[in-house]
A and B are shown apart, each in its own frame.
Chain A
Amino acid sequence: MEEIIRFENVDKIFQNRKMSVTACKNIDLTVNKGDIFGVLGYSGAGKSTLIRMINALEKPTAGKVVVRGRPISELTGRELRLARKDIAMIFQQFNLLNSRTVFQNAAMPLVLNHVPKAEIKRRVDEILDFVELTDKAEAYSAKLSGGQMQRVGIARALTTNPSILLCDEPTSALDPKTQDSILGLLQKINRELAVTVVIITHQVGIVQKICNKAAVMENGRVVETGEVRAIFAKPRHPITKVFVDAVIDTSIPRLVLAEAQAARGAQRIVSVRVLGGNVCDTFVPDLAARFPVEVKTLSLSVNEIQEDVLSVFNLQLIGPEEETQKVLSYLGTRYDYEEIGADWSL
C-alpha cells in the first residue's frame, strides 16, 4: 500500500510568554493512499493541532511531516502554497464566505488558480451536482442549513481535485441525520474520487461508520493506532476501551450476572470478542463440542464494523477447573477475552 502522509517523531509545543503547552508529543503515524483515517480523542487531546500540521497551518517544533514524499513542514512561500492546493480542508464551522453565493464559494480555489471562467463554470456545476446542491447554486451561504453549508465546504474543497481531504470535526455542528448524510458523502468521495480522507472527531461512532484506520489520542500522544476492525476487536489502551465501549455493548445486565455468580460449583465468567463473519449461532455450540464444559450465554451483542461483524459473547463456563482453564487458553490463542471476576460490578 502506498503511503501518502507520514509523521516522523513530531512534537508541537505552543509557547507564549507565560506558559508552554505540549499539544502533540512523539507522533509517528502513517496514512496510506485511499484510507479514511480517523483521529479520535477528547477535547484538548491535540487532534486539531495534529491535522493542521498535515497542511502546515501549524509547523512542528520537532520532527517532520511528509506528504506525498515531500516534507511539507519544511516548505515555505510558493512551494508551500502549491503543496496546499493538493490538500483540501473542511471545518467544523464551515468557514464559508457569507458575502458570496454557493457557486462563488465553490469556485474560490479555481479563481485563486486563475482558471478561465468557462472552465470554472463547468467544474463547479459538476461538483455541485456531486454534492447535490445544484438547486442552491445562486443562494447566499448565510441562508443555508448546516448540512448544506458543509456540502458547500466539501464542494469547495473538491473543485481542484485534491488527493487529500482533511476534515476537522466536520459533523460536530450537525444533527444526527444530517451527520449521516455528510459521512455518506465523505465515503462516496473516498470511493469514487479516490481521495484520501483524514477525519478528526471525538465521536467514536464516526470512526466505526466510515474509517478503515484510526489513531486514538490522549494528552498530545497517539496511544493506539491501527485498523479500525482490530482496534474494535481488541482495544488495548484504557481510553480506547472507553471509546469503544460507548458503541460496542459489552455489558451483562446486573441481574443476570448476579444470578450467574450465585450458582454453585466451579465456574468462570468471560467476555469474548469475536471478529469476522456471523458466528451468533455457531460459536457457543462449537465451544461446547470441543470441551467437556457447559457453556451458557449470559448476553450477546452483535455489531457491524467496516463491513464485518464483531460479536461480544458474555459466557458462563461451568465445569472442573482444569477443563475451563483449557477453554480459556483456547480462547486466548484466537480471540480477545476478558475474565469477569466475582467482584466485577457494573
Chain B
Amino acid sequence: MHPRILEVRRNLLKKNDELARDLRGRFLSDGLFVVNLVSGPGTGKTALLRRTLGELLNRGYRPIALVGDLATDNDARRLAESGAPVRQITTDGVCHLEADMVARHLAEWSPGPADFLFIENVGNLVCPASYDLGESLRVVLLSVTDGEDKPLKYPKLFNTADVAIVTKADLAEACEFDRAAAEANIHDVRPGMQIFSTSAKTGVGFDAWLAFLIDQRTACGLPVRDERPFVSQP
C-alpha cells in the first residue's frame, strides 16, 4: 500500500439532476408544463398560485399543484379552494423539495389529465436554488414588503430563476417600494430576466402573467387549449 489519489470528479447533486432531467422529459411528453415557485416564507407564493389556478381554470386549462410545506397543510387547503387538484408534500423539516419527492408524490396521485403543474417550494431563500425538480420554468418571487436588496442578499436564488415576480403590488405605495432599484438589483444578479408585477389581492398584473405562462407552455411545443370558460360542478 502506498499513498495515492483516487480521481472521482462527480457532481454531488448528480442523482437529483438526472432524475429531474428524466422528469422534465416525461412531463413534456405528457403535455404537462411544470412551474417551480421559489421565495422566502410569506412572499406570496400561495396567494399568487391560488389566483393563478383559478384564472387558468376560467380559461379552460387544467392546472394542478403540489405544495411543499414543513409541517402544516394550510397552504394545500388554501390552494384547493381554487377548485384545482392539489396535493401536499410534507417535508418534515427538510428545507427544500427534491426531484425524488416530486416523483414519489406524483406516482401516488391520480389528479386526472392536466396541462400545468405548479410546485410551490418550501419557503426558503437558499436551499431550493440547488435542486432541479424537472420544471420547465423556475419563478422567483420578491414582495414589495421584502426590501429592494433581497436579490443581492440571496443572489443564487435569483440567478437560477427564469423569471421574477414582484408580488403584493397593492402595498407598493404604502411601503415606499422603489421598483427601479429592485429591478436593477434583480438584473445585477440575473441580467435580462423578465420581471412581472402582480397583486394577488386586486388581480393587477395577472393578465400579463397568465399570457406569459400560456405562451411559455406553447413554446415548449405543447398544444394550445381554446379559451372557453370552465364549467364547474354545481
A and B form one complex? no
Interface residues of B (CB under 8 A from A): none
Interface residues of A (CB under 8 A from B): none
